[in-house]
């Protein structure tokens, strides 16, 4: 992109408050709607759309649809403009009786220019759509690394020159969010791009006292793409949330569109955060855990297909280990599979001579204890999740022998052996450059 084009973009961004654009926005009365943006922020998005007239628009994070209404109104006289809106949830986070996008259907009788996709993550949806977008609005979980992952997954599906708007870049200054919700600020800080915001910072919603900007837009330029590795590096900032269900899709999408350096940084950041979240903040070593996992007897059964099991499968993927064990869950008919591994009904009648080891991954300690007694009586060598995580489990031959050598050693290779000095520095040595 030439300097001239970048200048034009800044000029366009500054034109968002042209009186004709403001007039257009005022067609919608928000008093009965549930907008999660203030008026100035809505005008900012409306004006950018009116000025740049994008053909394909993408919104990630819909909630009740106040933002979607604003976008649909902005394009309502642009017959060639179409909006795709994605939300990971199908119900509003504040009330599960309200469906996502509810305000849109209350406001418009026809929504042919909208494709609303709910209950799925962008990493699953975007590769299937295969479309490229000119205007993107990201307003999702606000817990790191969600916005960064949303952006990295959407970037390959943006045209050069596309405009991306980020909302809630200062949410952490709001009293009730203090100390968290840094996700969007981390992301925009890592982007090599000029950031454009509203004329005036917000004095409401975020803080009654200080004036902070809470919305920003960037344009996709070659520079932004050249320095995208900065966003991967920022993934080393501790994750407030580990997206246990989406990692398989996210990793698959990233591996298609980013180079090996980026992927190595990503894997290392995921690894350290998986270890942290998997064990609720206790610093279990994934190397050690992987060593135990590698040495499990072939006939091991994992009992429970909930969150712990999903963490375990992510660990297998991260360490490039095949998972060839059986997963049992009484809710198998609904769950069916996790990450492509079949979940089947527990067999309570197996005789002791056919029984091997069992790892009970159920989170509820009392239920897990009951299952343990039941299957021990059936002849299983059963372990609670805590035992599996502990070095003294004795489940596998290598367990309890914490030499630091052996099978676990190769697990560090991917992270530490990178040619990129910074990448290697982010390993467990503690000498992180970040």
Closest residue to ligand SAM, based on beta-carbon distance: 67
Cβ at position 246, least distance to ligand SAM in Å:
7
- Which candidate, 144, 152, 402, places its Cα nearest to that of 276? 144
Peptide bond between residue 135 and the one before it cis (omega within 30 degrees of 0) = no
Is there binding between residue 37 and ligand SAM (CB under 6 A)? yes
Q: Which is nearer to ligand SAM, 141 or 182 (CB)?
A: 141
Is there binding between residue 254 and ligand SAM (CB under 6 A)? no
Q: Which long-range contacts (C-beta less than 8 Å, at least 24 apart) are formed by 338-343?
A: 338/305, 338/309, 338/310, 338/313, 339/248, 339/310, 339/313, 339/314, 341/313, 343/305
Report how far residue 385's alpha carbon sits from residue 303's, in angstroms, rounded to the nearest whole number: 10
Q: Which is nearer to ligand SAM, 60 or 262 (CB)?
A: 60
Q: Which is nearer to ligand SAM, 62 or 305 (CB)?
A: 62
Q: Which is nearer to ligand SAM, 82 or 372 (CB)?
A: 82
Q: Which of 40, 51, 102, 121 binds ligand SAM (CB under 6 A)?
A: 121
Q: Which is nearer to ligand SAM, 41 or 426 (CB)?
A: 41
Report how far residue 282's alpha carbon sits from residue 304's, in angstroms, rounded to the nearest whole number: 22
Query: Where in 267-296 is the site for ligand SAM (CB under 6 A)?
Result: none
Please give the C-alpha separations between residue 229 and each of 218, 257, 371, 422, 423, in angstroms, as whole numbers.
17, 13, 46, 11, 11
Using DSSP bridges, classify how beta strands 326-328 and 95-99 pair: parallel, antiparallel or unpaired. unpaired
Q: Which of 13, 28, 35, 300 binds ligand SAM (CB under 6 A)?
A: 35
Report how far residue 134's alpha carbon sits from residue 75's, in angstroms, rounded to the nearest whole number: 13
DSSP state string for 312-349: HHHHHHHTT----SEEE-TTHHHH-EETTEEEE---TT
Q: Which is nearer to ligand SAM, 150 or 393 (CB)?
A: 150
3-state secondary structure of 217: strand
Is there binding between residue 146 and ligand SAM (CB under 6 A)? yes
- Which candidate, 348, 407, 400, places its Cα nearest to that of 379? 348
* Number of residues this chain uses to bind ligand SAM (CB under 6 A): 22
3-state secondary structure of 115: strand
Cβ at position 72, least distance to ligand SAM in Å:
12
Q: Which is nearer to ligand SAM, 205 or 276 (CB)?
A: 205
Q: Which of 13, 25, 43, 62 binds ligand SAM (CB under 6 A)?
A: 62
Site stretch for ligand SAM (CB under 6 A), options 140-148, 227-235, 276-284, 424-432: 140-148
Neighbours of 224 (CB within 10 A): 21
Q: Which of 36, 245, 307, 376 binds ligand SAM (CB under 6 A)?
A: 36
Q: Which is nearer to ligand SAM, 150 or 197 (CB)?
A: 150
Q: Which is nearer to ligand SAM, 221 or 249 (CB)?
A: 249
Report how far residue 391's alpha carbon sits from residue 129's, in angstroms, rounded to the nearest whole number: 45
Report how far residue 426's alpha carbon sits from residue 386's, in angstroms, rounded to the nearest whole number: 28
Cβ at position 120, least distance to ligand SAM in Å:
8
Is there binding between residue 61 and ligand SAM (CB under 6 A)? yes
3-state secondary structure of 125: helix
Report how far residue 145's alpha carbon sits from residue 238's, in angstroms, rounded to the nearest whole number: 8
Q: Which of 75, 116, 141, 165 binds ligand SAM (CB under 6 A)?
A: 141
Q: Which of 60, 125, 275, 315 binds ligand SAM (CB under 6 A)?
A: 60
Query: Where in 67-96 is the site for ligand SAM (CB under 6 A)?
Result: 67, 86-89, 93
Please give the C-alpha separations between residue 316 and each of 195, 350, 417, in angstroms, as whole numbers.
39, 27, 20
Is there binding between residue 140 and ligand SAM (CB under 6 A)? yes
Q: Which of 71, 72, 104, 122 binds ligand SAM (CB under 6 A)?
A: 122
Site stretch for ligand SAM (CB under 6 A), options 137-145, 222-230, 314-322, 350-358: 137-145
Please give the C-alpha separations between residue 208 and each of 41, 43, 175, 202, in angstroms, as whole numbers.
17, 21, 10, 9
* Contacts to ligand SAM by CB under 6 A: 35-37, 60-63, 66-67, 86-89, 93, 100, 121-122, 139-141, 146, 150
């Amino acid at each position: 992109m030439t300097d001239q084009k970048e200048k034009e973009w800044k000029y366009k961004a500054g034109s968002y408050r042209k009186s004709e654009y403001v007039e257009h926005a005022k067609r919608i009365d928000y008093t009965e709607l549930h907008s999660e943006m203030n008026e100035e922020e809505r005008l900012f998005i409306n004006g950018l759309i009116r000025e740049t007239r994008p053909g394909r628009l993408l919104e990630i994070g819909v909630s009740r649809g106040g933002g979607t209404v604003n976008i649909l109104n902005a394009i309502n006289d642009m017959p060639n403009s179409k909006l795709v809106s994605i939300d990971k949830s199908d119900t509003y986070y504040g009330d599960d009786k309200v469906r996502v996008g509810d305000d849109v259907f209350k406001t418009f009788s026809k929504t042919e220019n909208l494709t609303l996709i709910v209950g799925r993550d962008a990493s699953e949806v975007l590769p299937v759509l295969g479309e490229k977008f000119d205007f993107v609005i990201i307003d999702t979980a606000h817990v790191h690394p969600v916005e960064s992952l949303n952006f990295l997954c959407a970037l390959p599906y943006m045209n050069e020159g596309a405009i991306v708007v980020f909302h809630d870049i200062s949410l952490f200054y709001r009293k009730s969010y203090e100390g968290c919700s840094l996700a969007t600020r981390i992301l925009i800080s890592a982007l090599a791009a000029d950031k454009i915001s509203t004329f005036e910072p917000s004095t409401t919603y975020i803080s009654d006292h200080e004036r902070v900007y809470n919305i920003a837009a960037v344009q996709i330029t070659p520079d932004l793409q050249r320095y995208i590795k900065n966003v991967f590096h920022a993934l080393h900032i501790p994750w407030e949330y580990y997206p246990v269900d989406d990692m398989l899709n996210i990793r698959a999408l990233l591996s298609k569109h980013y180079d090996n350096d980026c992927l190595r940084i990503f894997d290392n950041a995921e690894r350290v955060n998986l270890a942290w979240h998997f064990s609720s903040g206790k610093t279990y070593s994934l190397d050690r855990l992987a060593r135990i996992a590698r040495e499990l007897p072939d006939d091991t059964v994992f009992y429970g297909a909930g969150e712990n099991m999903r963490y375990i499968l992510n660990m297998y993927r991260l360490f490039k280990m095949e998972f060839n064990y059986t997963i049992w869950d009484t809710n198998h008919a609904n769950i069916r599979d996790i990450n492509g591994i079949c979940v089947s009904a527990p067999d309570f009648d197996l005789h002791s001579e056919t029984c091997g080891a069992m790892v009970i991954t159920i989170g509820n300690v009392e239920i897990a204890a009951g299952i343990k007694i039941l299957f021990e009586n059936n002849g299983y060598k059963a372990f609670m999740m805590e035992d599996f995580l502990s070095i003294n489990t004795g489940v596998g031959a290598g367990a309890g022998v914490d030499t630091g050598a052996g099978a676990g050693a190769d697990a560090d290779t991917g992270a530490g052996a990178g040619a990129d000095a910074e990448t290697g520095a982010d390993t467990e040595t503690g000498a992180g450059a970040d």
